């Protein structure tokens, strides 16, 4: 009987171990197959994902305290940020489509669309304002063996807009009208050698990172985020709860409102940890490659780092806090509000918000509400991110009333991944941009020389002092 029970227990243990082994192997296999992509926009991602605190978290049907909800939100953020940084984009190019509209103080609108892949692509745009229309097209083509593209530019409608702006006509410098007319509808090229920075062979190799090096940077960069920035452990956490206000509706969502502050010592440690990430990974060489000949100390002023931390240490963090609305289910931080003017909290504040309503797209917003110095109104900047395919959208909305009147404008830019090929051809007969610049200087030089006094010879001077001597000799 005992042998039977023992055999059953052994079988169970063996089965559990096998299942765990299979799960671990599967997890490792899935992890190894994930393609890591390092993002140079890590600070932006950190800000964005701080709001995106529960995208993949399951709803836990238990009653949580406000402190537990806040801790849950921070933990979910740590998982989400790894997903964003390491997600694989399965498309090789992006389609770009956007536009804007201004309704005050003038009526104007515009659009932009095109397709881009790495350094090659094409964009078309249009601007309509005060009855005039300007059309533009840009093409970028990387020649074989080059590091930067030749950029081709075509603009039509310049003369109509220039007339509205008053830079042509009777009072304009001589030759401006004919110069703009010569540009209208013609193709011009910026040669790739004007764009490329001269670098040595050793410098160019620093720009290339292997998958293992990217993986190492990602792993190390995530550690201080997990252990400090998005931690609820009071021993290491950057953020702490000062006060819980209670349940509150925020823009129609059930939330818990609280006041959150910063632990100064842990914040200083968080900054120091990121210094170590830069020093201990290929990120150091990557940053150095952007400025050949400069050391990492010169680029990031590490020699002044201790002094800067001492400056942080002298700051009074006790008065630095923010109001935070956490969704009642503990999955999302719905809104973070900062008050730059404590005496006018109702009309002057800065919001970082996540008005999520379901689906794959997370809408992140930054809102500024102001009422001071003769200006009142709101500004909104948004970033919509699709967690499944990596597509994104940038938005803005401005509505400000001031002494000079109302300013009202809005716009968006959608970036969508595509597998369609990027096909760009170089236009024939394009003129080098250097010739255009010389043509722009000629009428201005003629206008300047026509206003110089008689007897002034510009060919006789080599410095500003020579000019002053000639002017004195003319008794001016």
d(CA 99, CA 116): 17
Secondary structure letter of residue 460 according to DSSP: G
Q: What is the pLDDT of residues 319-366, one digit of tens each?
A: 667 899 988 887 778 898 988 887 888 889 999 888 888 888 888 899
Q: What is the pLDDT of residues 405-421, one digit of tens each?
A: 899 999 999 999 998 88
Contact criterion met (CB below 8 Å) for 213 and 286 = no
Q: Can you state the angle between helices 176-183 and 158-165, rounded to 10 degrees?
A: 150
Q: How confident is the model at residue 35 (pLDDT cuts 50, 70, 90)?
A: very low
Give the Å distances, CA to CA, from 229 to 46, 50, 65, 290, 395. Answer: 9, 9, 21, 28, 27
What tokens appear for 456 in the block? 């002034």
Contact criterion met (CB below 8 Å) for 98 and 384 = no
Q: What secondary structure does DSSP assign to 287-347, as a single string?
A: HHHTSTT--HHHHH-GGGHHHHHHHHHTS-GGG-EEEEEEETTSS-EEEEEE-S-GGGTTT
Collect all residues with Cβ–Cβ distance below 8 Å to 122 and sequence separation of at least 6: 114, 115, 116, 137, 138, 139, 140, 422, 424
Secondary structure letter of residue 230 according to DSSP: T
Q: How confident is the model at residue 104 (pLDDT cuts 50, 70, 90)?
A: very high
Average confidence (pLDDT) over 430-448 = 70
What pLDDT sits at residue 122?
A: 96
What pLDDT sits at residue 341?
A: 80
Average confidence (pLDDT) over 22-27 = 41
d(CA 333, CA 329): 10
d(CA 22, CA 16): 10
Q: What is the pLDDT of residues 375-412, one digit of tens each?
A: 899 999 999 988 888 899 999 999 999 888 899 999 99
Q: What secondary structure does DSSP assign to 153-207, as a single string?
A: EEEE-HHHHHHHHTSSSTTSPTTHHHHHHHHTT-EEEE-HHHHSPP--HHHHHTT
End-to-end alpha-carbon separation of the chain, Å?
Answer: 121
Q: What is the pLDDT of residues 252-263, one digit of tens each?
A: 999 999 999 888
Q: How confident is the model at residue 130 (pLDDT cuts 50, 70, 90)?
A: confident
What tokens appear for 162 in the block? 């220039």
Contact criterion met (CB below 8 Å) for 134 and 157 = yes
Mean pLDDT of the chain: 74
Give the Å distances, CA to CA, from 303 to 136, 221, 273, 280, 293. Answer: 47, 22, 16, 17, 17
Q: Would you tell me how many other CB atoms lie within 10 Å of the CB of residue 125?
A: 17
Contact criterion met (CB below 8 Å) for 243 and 261 = no
What tokens appear for 440 in the block? 């722009």
- Percentage with pLDDT > 90 across the chain: 26
Judged against a pLDDT cut of 50, whether residue 132 lies above it is answered with: yes
Judged against a pLDDT cut of 50, whether residue 201 lies above it is answered with: no
H/E stretch holding 362 reads: strand 361-372
Q: How confident is the model at residue 12 (pLDDT cuts 50, 70, 90)?
A: very low
Label residue 420 exposed, middle or buried (CB < 10 Å: 0-12, 13-18, 19+). Answer: exposed
Sort strands 349-353 and 431-432 into parallel, antiparallel or unpaired: unpaired
Contact criterion met (CB below 8 Å) for 276 and 300 = no
Judged against a pLDDT cut of 90, whether residue 460 lies above it is answered with: no
H/E stretch holding 10 reads: helix 2-33
Q: How confident is the model at residue 435 (pLDDT cuts 50, 70, 90)?
A: confident
């Amino acid at each position: 009987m005992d042998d039977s029970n023992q055999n059953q227990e052994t079988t169970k243990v063996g089965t559990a171990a096998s299942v765990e082994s299979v799960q671990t192997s599967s997890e490792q296999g899935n992890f190894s197959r994930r393609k890591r992509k390092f993002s140079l926009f890590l600070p932006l991602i950190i800000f964005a994902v701080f709001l995106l605190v529960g995208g993949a978290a399951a709803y836990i049907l238990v009653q949580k305290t406000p402190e537990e909800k806040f801790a849950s939100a921070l933990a979910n953020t740590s998982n989400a940020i790894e997903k964003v940084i390491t997600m694989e984009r399965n498309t090789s190019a992006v389609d770009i489509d956007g536009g804007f509209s201004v309704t005050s103080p003038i009526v104007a609108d515009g659009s932009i669309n095109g397709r881009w892949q790495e350094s090659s692509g094409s964009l078309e745009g249009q601007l309509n304002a005060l009855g005039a229309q300007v059309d533009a097209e840009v093409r970028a083509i990387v020649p074989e063996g080059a590091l930067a593209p030749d950029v081709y530019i075509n603009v039509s409608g310049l003369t109509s807009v220039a007339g509205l702006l008053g830079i042509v006509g009777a009072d304009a410098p001589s030759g401006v009208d004919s110069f703009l007319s010569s540009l209208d509808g013609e193709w011009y090229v910026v040669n790739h050698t004007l764009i490329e920075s001269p670098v040595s062979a050793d410098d160019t190799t620093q720009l290339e990172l292997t998958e293992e090096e990217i993986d190492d940077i990602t792993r190390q960069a995530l550690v201080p985020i997990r252990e400090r920035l998005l931690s609820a452990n009071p021993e290491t956490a950057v953020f702490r709860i000062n006060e819980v206000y209670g349940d509150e509706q925020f823009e129609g969502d059930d939330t818990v409102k609280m006041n959150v502050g910063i632990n100064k010592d842990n914040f200083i440690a968080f900054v120091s940890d990121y210094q170590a990430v830069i020093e201990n990974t290929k990120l150091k060489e990557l940053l150095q490659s952007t400025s050949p000949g400069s050391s990492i100390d010169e680029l990031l002023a590490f020699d002044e780092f201790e002094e800067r931390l001492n400056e942080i240490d002298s700051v009074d963090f006790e008065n630095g806090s923010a109001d935070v609305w956490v969704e009642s289910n503990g999955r999302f931080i719905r809104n973070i509000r900062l008050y730059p003017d404590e005496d006018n909290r109702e009309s002057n504040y800065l919001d970082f918000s996540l008005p999520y309503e379901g689906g794959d797209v997370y809408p992140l917003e930054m809102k500024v509400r102001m009422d001071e110095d003769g200006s009142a109104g709101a500004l909104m900047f948004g970033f919509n991110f699709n967690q499944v395919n990596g597509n994104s959208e940038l938005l803005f909305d401005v509505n400000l009333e001031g002494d000079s009147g109302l300013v009202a404008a809005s716009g968006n830019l959608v970036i969508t991944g595509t597998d369609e090929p990027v096909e760009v051809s170089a236009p024939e007969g394009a003129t080098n941009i250097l010739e255009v610049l010389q043509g722009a200087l000629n009428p201005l030089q003629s206008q300047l020389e026509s206003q110089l006094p008689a007897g002034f010879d510009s060919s006789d001077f080599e410095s500003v002092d020579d000019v002053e001597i000639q002017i004195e000799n003319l008794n001016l």
